[in-house]
Structure 1
Amino acid sequence: MQSGDKQVFQIQKSFGLELGRFRLKEGMSEAALQEAYQAMVTNHLSKQSGWCGQHLVKLGDGIFLDVAFAQTEDHAKTICASWRDQPVCDTFLAFIEPISMEFGTVL
C-alpha cells in the first residue's frame, strides 16, 4: 500500500522478504540511483501480485540494501523474477554492482 510517497504497511508473520545487497557503480550518482529505484518500485514492482512494500537502505560502508516485503516468500521470489526484461528495472540495474540476494520469511 502507498500513501503519497510513503509506503504504509504493517510487517506480519509469514511475510516473504527479499534482501538484495549491492554497491553503487563508480561514477554513478546516488540521487539518480534513488530516482531510478523509486521509478522501478512505483511503475513495476508495486503493481505485482503479493507485493507489500519496499525500501532502499544505505549502510555506512557504501553498501546499499533493497528490502522488499511480499505476502509470502514465494511471492517475493516471483516479484524478483519479474525484473527480467523490464526497462524500468534495467535502468535501476545499470547503477549497481550486485553483491548478494537472499530470500526469507518473517517469523
Structure 2
Amino acid sequence: MEHIEINELIHKQLKSYVSASGFSNSEIARRCGVDRATVGRWLKTGNISRNNLIKLCHVLGVSEAVFLEDVSFSTGGSHQFHEKKKAIIDKVVLLPEDKSYLLDAVDKLLS
C-alpha cells in the first residue's frame, strides 16, 4: 500500500473519530496542548505526528492500537490476519516495563 493511500485512510479515521467525539476543534486543541489551527490541519490533511496521534487518541478515549487497527481494517486485508495483529498489539500495550527487552527483540525482527 502506498504512503498516500495510508495517509488518506488515517485522514478518514481522524475525521470520523473527531466527529464522533462531539468535541470542538478548540477543545481538542486545548486537551492536546496544540493550537486550533493544528487540529484543523490534521482534519484537513490527515498529517499528524505519532506524538500528537497518541495525545489525540488519549483525548478521544481510544488507544492508538485501536485507531491504527481501524485504519488497517479499511485496507481490506484478511480478517484473520487483522485479528492476530490486534491480539499481538494488545499484548504489547499491556507489556510490563521490566519486559522491555521483548520490545527490543520485536523491533529488531521487524526492522
Taking structure 1 as the reference length, the TM-score comes to: 0.28
Tell which structure's C-alpha radius of gyration is larger.
Answer: 2
The structure that is helix-richer by fraction is: 2
Q: Which has the higher contact order (CA 8 A, sep 6+)?
A: 1
Taking structure 2 as the reference length, the TM-score comes to: 0.28
